[in-house]
Structure 1
């Protein structure tokens, strides 16, 4: 097998910042905003460098634009690059955050020799707007090192081996203390590590240097292949222009039925489908994107047709419609969700029937009232008890099940009451309260305008019931809950 490695050093910026290629200085900083990790040509000409602090960069060039790095955006960009590469190679493997493996045996038969492949890929990704460094080698890890450290690799394998041996050990994924330790042992290049037994080095240093074996071919390593996500695309041009919403239902319903069949054959479901309407005189009336949303993900034709009808009734047509299309999955916002597999049964369980009726009711409510008016309670991560549950939109899947914080092994009260001040100014005055457990301190909320400092106690009231009280930083006493 033969591999190409594509290193895209400016992947995040070139994907999400159109002005990165402009004459305005632009820098990308880490998520905490402290260090520069990428710069454009204008910033480089202004004297800015990678790895300097953001404060230094702003002082040297006050006109610079500062953008924080987003791992989610970088992931979307890498997925976009990988999907494009699948059109040229059968084996593609993303290497986060900004690299890509490609097996090029099939490409060589189609594109010709190595130079033709490289020229084609440079032109291909230049059209997509990306800067790319490409290297080739018979081993995937070796191609990765060459692309990231040297840029274009040597044309044949013997030259590449010579270059690999001369590379410093800093090209490996090792911590700074481990690199310093290798230098003390006189191991400064990959050739020095190759001359030693990797197993003994791993045992002696307490770390893994298996990457050396992968680079020089003493052990085989293959990247995990990437498969493009399932996607659905349906389109139809109308023989006659359609001017009323009701007349759109029948032709688009054929696409809805095709979509539901597509989902069921792949054991998938969906919660959102994008409907694109194209109008006559497109210069004056650009295409309109409509979202068909369900309250819960499913693949039932009845629910999707009902929601399509409601969506079309609320849509106003600025001009006659000449074509329509449906899109889901792939690079679209409408995600396809795997259906939970269930064992086959002779009849449907009562719980499944109830669940199906609930889903149908929720979808009809969302269609009648609008998906943003249907709310679900869910838990969130917040140490303040009164802020641990919120109402989320119906289209948002309540998958972030946040566990309620435990207090020293004891659960919080069953009934959480509004914070009510009690007629006590200090703990010494609480004579009628019998403290059962506490204090448990909560000092949180520094990120917003409702910071709190509390000491919680479980107390027994004169009647025998248990209540949950706390004292704030001013020693004011409040009650917040009752135990069963």
Structure 2
């Protein structure tokens, strides 16, 4: 194996800030806004440097533009770079926040020698607008250190080994205190560490120096491969302009059939598909994006064709359509969902047939009524029992899940009744409610206008059944549930 490491020092800024290459001074600061972590050429000419405080930078250059670093944006940028690199190497591995491993030994016969590959990658990423430093080595970690510290590839393996031995120990991922301890022991370069037994150093210093073994090849380390997400893209330009919705159904239905075949071959399903319509006068009528939504995810051609028909019937065309495209997965807001694998059987189980008919019915209802008018019961996380279930659209996926709340080994009642005040006219009536468990205190709802303070009890009624009661802060008694 032979590895290239690509270091993109300005990845976040060059991906999200078009003015980073302009003559305006631009600095990128940490998320708390205190320290400068990246600058452009104009800011460097103005005397600004990385690692200085943002206040100092603004004082030195009042015209500087300050941008806060976003980890999410940087992740998307690195993902974009990794997907582009898959065209040049079968083994690509992102190294957050701004690096990338590429295995190129297996591609040498197709791509030429390593120098030609490096020159091509420099040109390729320059066209994408990225500054890149590339180093090569037979060991992935060694290539990483060379690219990040020297910014260039050594001419040969022996030259690279000499460079590695002379690099300071500060290039390792160690704390400042550990670096100081190594300096006190006279260990100032990677060559000093490589001359000693790493296991003994780990034992004496209480820190892991395995990275030294990975760099010099005493132990093997391979980066985790990156796989591009599944995505579907289909487009069709029409020979004749289409002015009516019904006429759009036939050409787009070919894309729907291709999409469903794509899903079935990969054991995937989808709940949403993006349809883009492009019109004759592009400047006057921009492209329109439509969402084809199912009530439940599936890969049935019949369901998707029916939803396409209903979506087109509700769409008004401002101008003749000249092209259409379908998109799902990848960077689009239409997730592809793996289908649950089932054991192969000769006949489909009756429950599967019922489930298929139910899904077909729900999809037809969603098409007729609209997906936001078809509501399903969902659980939400709220300590108040009466607020733990809601009705919501299937398209809006809740990120919260509500587990069964345990009350000291007992679950809450299966039958939750409306909150009903209990009025006791005498002590005899009160004594009939015998407490068998409690209290369990709930003091919640402070974030809205319906806060509550309750002490819950499980009480046995005269007939022997169990009910769920609580007392509020005014010591008034209420019932809220019955146990089966």
Q: Is the 8 A contact 1:29 1:37 kept in 2?
A: yes
Deviations 1:338-375 (A, max 9, x none): 22211111111111111111111111111111122223
Q: CA separation of 1:107/1:361 partners in 2, compared to 1, >3 Å: closer, same or farther?
A: same
1:182 to partner: Cα distance: 4.4
Deviations 1:284-337 (A, max 9, x none): 222222221111111111001001001110111111112222222233222222
Q: Which residue pairs with 2:382 in the alignment?
A: 382
Larger radius of gyration: 2
Counterpart-to-counterpart distance in 1, 2:388 and 2:438: 21
Taking structure 1 as the reference length, what is the TM-score of the superposition? 0.83
Q: Is the 8 A contact 1:425 1:476 kept in 2?
A: no
1:441 to partner: Cα distance: 4.9
Q: CA separation of 1:210/1:257 partners in 2, compared to 1, >3 Å: closer, same or farther?
A: same
Q: CA separation of 1:207/1:353 partners in 2, compared to 1, >3 Å: closer, same or farther?
A: farther
Q: Is the 8 A contact 1:80 1:331 kept in 2?
A: no
- Larger deviation, residues 290-299 vs 178-187: 178-187
- Larger deviation, residues 260-269 vs 411-420: 411-420
1:249 to partner: Cα distance: 0.6
Q: Is the 8 A contact 1:5 1:143 kept in 2?
A: yes
Q: CA separation of 1:413/1:20 partners in 2, compared to 1, >3 Å: closer, same or farther?
A: farther
1:150 to partner: Cα distance: 3.5
Give 5+ residue unaligned stretches, structure 1: none
Deviations 1:438-470 (A, max 9, x none): 454556666667666665554556776655556
Q: Which residue pairs with 2:157 in the alignment?
A: 157
Taking structure 2 as the reference length, what is the TM-score of the superposition? 0.83
Q: CA separation of 1:423/1:69 partners in 2, compared to 1, >3 Å: closer, same or farther?
A: farther
Counterpart-to-counterpart distance in 2, 1:10 and 1:438: 60
Counterpart-to-counterpart distance in 2, 1:24 and 1:430: 79
Q: CA separation of 1:46/1:238 partners in 2, compared to 1, >3 Å: closer, same or farther?
A: same
Give 5+ residue unaligned stretches, structure 2: none
1:163 to partner: Cα distance: 2.9
Deviations 1:113-132 (A, max 9, x none): 55544443233223323333
Q: Is the 8 A contact 2:75 2:96 kept in 1?
A: yes
- Larger deviation, residues 437-446 vs 273-282: 437-446
- Larger deviation, residues 72-81 vs 235-244: 72-81
Counterpart-to-counterpart distance in 1, 2:42 and 2:182: 38
Matched residue of 1:333: which SS?
coil
Q: Is the 8 A contact 1:238 1:323 kept in 2?
A: yes
Counterpart-to-counterpart distance in 2, 1:324 and 1:112: 40
Q: Is the 8 A contact 2:381 2:401 kept in 1?
A: no
Q: Is the 8 A contact 1:292 1:311 kept in 2?
A: yes
- Larger deviation, residues 219-228 vs 342-351: 219-228
Deviations 1:68-109 (A, max 9, x none): 655444333222111111122232112233221112336655
Counterpart-to-counterpart distance in 2, 1:456 and 1:335: 43
Counterpart-to-counterpart distance in 2, 1:259 and 1:383: 43
1:384 to partner: Cα distance: 4.5
1:475 to partner: Cα distance: 7.4
Q: Is the 8 A contact 1:273 1:327 kept in 2?
A: yes
Q: Is the 8 A contact 2:435 2:460 kept in 1?
A: yes
Counterpart-to-counterpart distance in 1, 2:45 and 2:445: 43
Matched residue of 1:327: which SS?
strand
Deviations 1:373-424 (A, max 9, x none): 2233323344454444344431245686442443444323334456677889
Q: Is the 8 A contact 2:380 2:389 kept in 1?
A: yes
Matched residue of 2:272: which SS?
strand
1:202 to partner: Cα distance: 3.6
